[in-house]
């Protein structure tokens, strides 16, 4: 039942974003058709989740800050649709355990390596959580840059602005060949730094395409 609801919402929001935000997707061929994959994206706005979800034709699950939505019913409904509430002040083994179970079943899971929304529109340093997820799941990582959402719904805004948005997917990153060469903490930091570097490159690429 939740799969049908997810599909209905995907179609509805996709139509809205394509028409009113002129959503464009680049690099979609880099997204695997099957299997568990970690999707690592920048985080600029509350609108990142629906925009990114609509850019991916597979059903995806999102790791997100646990206090993002204060309404208990809304929290329950979103969890049914694929939101995994994450406590960001520590390593939330329960949330990461849920994410790992989904990855092992062949599902894509989205994580925002920065841990929170940017306050100024610029990329923030990555946190080690994504490294832990990679180490435990042995999954590849798809870096993603979401463009325009900071302008659509910046911090403190009450209403979205109808401006163009775009999503660009990079090629999958595989860290299995270096994991055994590093201590866990060093590996987590390596993954985090490498992923954020790739996201920054995607940002530069899409800015060039837009003539910025």
CATH 2.60.40.1080 fits 2-209, yes or no: no
Residue 86: pLDDT band by 50, 70, 90 thresholds? confident
Residue 153 has pLDDT above 60, yes or no: yes
Q: Which of 76, 82, 112, 113 is nearest to 98 (CA)?
A: 82
Residue 143 has pLDDT above 90, yes or no: yes
Residue 74 has pLDDT above 70, yes or no: no
Residue 84: pLDDT band by 50, 70, 90 thresholds? confident
**How many Å apart are CA 23 and CA 11, to the nearest integer?**
13
Mean local confidence (pLDDT), 129-135: 94
- At residue 173, the pLDDT reads 97
Residue 66 has pLDDT above 90, yes or no: no
On average, the pLDDT of the chain sits at 90
Q: What percent of the chain has pLDDT over 70?
A: 93
Residue 211: pLDDT band by 50, 70, 90 thresholds? low
Predicted TM-score of the model (pTM)? 0.93
SS (H, E, C) the chain: CHHHHHHHHHHHHHHHHHHHCCCEEECHHHCCCCCCEEEEECCCCCCHHHHHHHHCCCCCEEEEECCCCCCHHHHHHHHHHCEEEECCCCCCHHHHHHHHHHHHCCCEEEECCCCCCCCCCCCCCCCCHHHHHHHHHCCCEEEEEEECHHHHCCCCCCCCCCCCCEEEECCCECCHHHHCCCCHHHHHHHHHHHHHHHHHHHHHHHHHHCCC
Residue 90: pLDDT band by 50, 70, 90 thresholds? confident
Mean local confidence (pLDDT), 113-142: 93
Strand partners, 84: 63
Q: Pick the most confident of 68-72, 91-95, 183-187, 191-195.
A: 191-195
User: Is residue 96 a contact partner of residue 148, using CB atoms and an 8 Å limit?
Assistant: no
Q: Which pLDDT tens digit goes with each residue over 97-110?
A: 999 999 999 999 99
Half-sphere exposure for 94 (CA within 13 Å, toward CB): 7
CB atoms within 10 A of CB 5: 12
- At residue 1, the pLDDT reads 55
Residue 65: pLDDT band by 50, 70, 90 thresholds? confident
> Domain spans of the chain?
2-209
Please give the residue that has the higher pLDDT: either 9 or 73.
9
Q: Which pLDDT tens digit goes with each residue over 168-178?
A: 999 999 998 88
Q: Which of 191, 66, 48 is nearest to 129 (CA)?
A: 191
Let me know if 75 is exposed, middle or buried by CB neighbors in 10 A (0-12, 13-18, 19+). Answer: middle
The rounded Cα 9 to chain-centroid distance in angstroms is: 18
């Amino acid at each position: 039942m939740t799969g049908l609801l997810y599909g209905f919402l995907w179609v509805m929001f996709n139509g809205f974003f394509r028409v009113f935000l002129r959503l464009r997707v680049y690099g979609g061929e880099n997204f695997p058709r099957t299997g568990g994959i970690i999707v690592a994206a920048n985080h600029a706005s509350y609108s990142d989740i629906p925009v990114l979800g609509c850019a991916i034709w597979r059903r995806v699950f999102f790791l997100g800050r646990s206090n993002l939505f204060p309404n208990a019913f809304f929290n329950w409904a979103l969890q049914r649709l694929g939101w995994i509430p994450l406590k960001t002040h520590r390593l939330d083994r329960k949330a990461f355990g849920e994410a790992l179970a989904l990855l092992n079943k062949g599902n894509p899971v989205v994580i925002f390596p920065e841990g929170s929304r940017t306050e100024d529109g610029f990329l923030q340093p990555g946190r080690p959580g994504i490294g832990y997820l990679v180490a435990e799941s042995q999954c590849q990582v798809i870096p993603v840059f979401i463009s325009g959402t900071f302008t659509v719904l910046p911090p403190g805004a009450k209403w979205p602005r109808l401006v163009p948005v775009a999503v660009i997917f990079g090629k999958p990153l595989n860290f299995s060949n270096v994991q055994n060469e590093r201590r866990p903490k060093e590996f987590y930091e390596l993954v985090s730094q490498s992923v954020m570097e790739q996201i920054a490159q995607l940002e530069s690429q899409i800015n060039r395409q837009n003539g910025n």
